[in-house]
Amino acid sequence: MAGRKVEVLEGELGQLKTDFEEKISDFQNQFSSIHEKMDGRFAALEDLMKKMIDDKQKPASSETIGGHGRGENPNPSGGRENPEVEVLEGDDGMPPLEPLSREELSRGYDRREAEYVGRREEFYRRGAGFERIQRRGADFEGERADFNRRGADFERIQRRCVDFEGRREEIHHRGAEFEGIQRRDMQKFHGWLLSITLIAEIQAASELS
């Protein structure tokens, strides 16, 4: 009965191990995919921030180069110069982007930097969670090994109990045989004693007659 319970527990433990390994494998695949995506996004964010920092650090005078010193109008759009506005020219024949103020650029830079830091922290948190799961898996393997050792010890105890039961039955059997021998010997002894008594009585009767 106990051996059957051990087999059932071993089967359940094997199924739990299989399910756990499948979950770990799925999580590793998801983690690798997320890691690759986050690396790509981090690289894109770093490039974007570098460009924004370069644009932010350009001197204001560079925005009006080309119109001064040649008798040209430095502000051909209407004569009202706005030093807070920066026009971003397009690349590779693309149309120019909407004009952005330096304050908007600064806010966008700060916001993107905060998003980058937040995503990086989230990435680290997920990595720490994955490490915790790995440690739990190692603990589970250790507990499973301990369970297997205890199961082996229990099986050895069961075998000893079976051996003990067999020896006890053998002792009882030999005891019964010994009691049978004793009874037979006692019966023989009583028969022999009765015979001697009868012979003695017959001899006494013959002497009296």
pLDDT digits (tens, 9 = 90+) for 34-72: 777 777 777 777 787 778 777 777 654 454 444 444 444
Domain count, the chain: 1
pLDDT tier at 88 (50, 70, 90 boundaries)? very low
Residue 6 included in any domain: yes
CA–CA dist 209, 199 (Å, integer): 16
* Confidence (pTM): 0.27
Residue 209 included in any domain: no
Residue 113 included in any domain: yes
Residue 182 included in any domain: no
Instruction: Quote the pLDDT of residue 142.
Output: 81
Contact 51, 28 (CB under 8 A): no
Residue 7 included in any domain: yes
Residue 129 included in any domain: yes
181's tokens: 């021998």
Domain that holds residue 25: 2-60+86-165
Residue 198 included in any domain: no
End-to-end CA, the chain: 79
Residue 172 included in any domain: no
